[in-house]
Amino acid sequence: MINIRDKGAEIWEGWNRPKRVALVLITIVLAGLLPFAASWGPTSFLNTPITSFQNVLVYPVGMFILMALGLNIVVGKSGLLDLGYVAFFAIGAYSQAILSTKFGWSTWEVLPVGIAIAMFSGMLLGLPALRLRGDYLAIITLGFGEIVRIIALNSKGTGGPNGVAGIPNPPAVFGFKFDLMHPEHYFWLVLGMILLVVWMIRRFTVRRPGRAWEAIRQDEDVAALMGVNTLVYKLWSFVIGAAVGGAAGVLYASKVMVISPDMFKFDVSVLILACVVFGGIGNIWGVILGAGILAYLPDRIRFISDARQVIFGLVLIIMMNLRPDGLLPRKKREKITEKSKK
């Protein structure tokens, strides 16, 4: 089977800078025009039957891409299996809910604080948990995800099972209003965050952290023998992943205006992980594609809504048999062309 990723990389390598910039800009513009795709003739087949297409683009599609990218730093880059990623999403969402309804903070004020709280909780979980490996780490993170949800379910401050209602939308920025009438503005906001995260991951990957993560993923003991402080680098990937999840949570809460603990169940963690694995673990473009498809399809093919989960499961099983490395697998390194030779 041809490897689309390698083919793409080959074409990309052959291009000069202006060509690359042009491609990136065109892609961003096209992505930015997505909210209007449903009302434009040739692409109107994309329209979703129940929820409006523009809203589907924000949640689940945009949010899932964002979270899948965040989880990919943890699972894909440094190879740590995190089954409780939804916890950081929940922590971000509850930060927004509580700080805005009780203290009157705006979304833009909450955003950095929510990210910081998510990062802090990532560190709190990571410090003891990252001393464990493989299955044990997976179990601890799974437990953490449930603990966060159960605390939200049982404590008064979080509104218990009813959750928090009346969360304000973000205030307008540069004339862009964020309310029910303008879902495309939310989408652009999420798109901006996705671009920011992609840029950040690409920065990290070519520098020391990227090398360290790669080494840890391939062999943690040997990485330590090379002088990599494995605990610190694992913690960093965990905390950065948590930050992205927290940011998504803050945005999500101020978009949907009502949150409750049952939005942050274990199956969200699994679904985000499925996005990463389905798209191509460790590869940004694969993860974006995988998350986009997995988040979008259930809304598009709702006419078979009863069988939705079955078909979804079937697609995953078939995929894992045909392309176990995902849609766009990470770079296969049989031969690596030297940069200096180019």
Q: To the nearest whole angstrom, how small is the minimum distance from the Cβ of residue 212 to another protein?
A: 7
**Angle CA(255)–CA(260)–CA(265) in degrees, nearest 5?**
105
41 in contact with another protein (CB under 8 A):
no
Distances in Å between the Cα of 185 and the Cα atoms of 35, 179, 182, 189 are: 9, 9, 6, 6
Q: To the nearest whole angstrom, how small is the minimum distance from the Cβ of residue 218 to another protein?
A: 5
- Of 229 and 309, which CB lies nearer to another protein in the complex structure? 229
300 in contact with another protein (CB under 8 A):
no
Q: To the nearest whole angstrom, how small is the minimum distance from the Cβ of residue 335 to another protein?
A: 6
39 in contact with another protein (CB under 8 A):
no
Query: CB-based contacts of 286: which residues, under 8 Å, 6+ apart?
Result: 5, 279, 280, 326, 327, 328, 329, 330
Residues that bind another protein (rule: CB under 8 A) add up to a total of: 24
The binder of another protein chosen from 11, 24, 150, 226 (CB under 8 A)? 226
Contacts by 219-224, CB closer than 8 A, 24 or more apart: 220/133
Find the helix packing angle between 266-279 and 63-72, rounded to 10°.
80
- The span from the CA of 127 to the CA of 235, in Å, is 7
Q: To the nearest whole angstrom, how small is the minimum distance from the Cβ of residue 175 to another protein?
A: 48
Q: To the nearest whole angstrom, how small is the minimum distance from the Cβ of residue 95 to another protein?
A: 34
230 in contact with another protein (CB under 8 A):
yes
Q: How many CB atoms lie within 10 A of CB 74?
A: 28
9 in contact with another protein (CB under 8 A):
no
The burial class, CB within 10 Å (0-12 / 13-18 / 19+), for 328 is buried
308 in contact with another protein (CB under 8 A):
no
Q: To the nearest whole angstrom, how small is the minimum distance from the Cβ of residue 197 to another protein?
A: 23
Q: To the nearest whole angstrom, how small is the minimum distance from the Cβ of residue 336 to another protein?
A: 4
Query: CB-based contacts of 247: which residues, under 8 Å, 6+ apart?
Result: 66, 92, 111, 114, 115, 118, 193
- Of 178 and 233, which CB lies nearer to another protein in the complex structure? 233
- Of 29 and 336, which CB lies nearer to another protein in the complex structure? 336
If we measure between CA atoms, which residue out of 131, 127, 140, 128 comes closest to residue 81? 140
229 in contact with another protein (CB under 8 A):
yes
311-340 positions binding another protein, by CB under 8 A: 333-338
Q: To the nearest whole angstrom, how small is the minimum distance from the Cβ of residue 233 to another protein?
A: 10
Query: Half-sphere exposure of 186 toward its Cβ, with a 13 Å CA cutoff?
Result: 28
Residues 187-216, one symbol each (x = binds another protein by CB under 8 A, - = not), give ---------------------x--xx-xx-
Residues 159-178, one symbol each (x = binds another protein by CB under 8 A, - = not), give --------------------
124 in contact with another protein (CB under 8 A):
no
109 in contact with another protein (CB under 8 A):
no
Contacts by 142-146, CB closer than 8 A, 24 or more apart: 142/83, 142/84, 142/266, 142/269, 143/84, 144/84, 144/87, 145/83, 145/84, 145/85, 145/86, 145/87, 145/264, 145/266, 145/269, 146/84, 146/266
78 in contact with another protein (CB under 8 A):
no
Q: Identify the three-state secondary structure at position 326.
A: coil
Q: To the nearest whole angstrom, how small is the minimum distance from the Cβ of residue 133 to another protein?
A: 13
1 in contact with another protein (CB under 8 A):
no
The binder of another protein chosen from 175, 227, 306, 322 (CB under 8 A)? 227
Task: Summarize as ranges the residues that interact with another protein (CB under 8 A).
Answer: 208, 211-212, 214-215, 218-219, 221-230, 333-338, 341
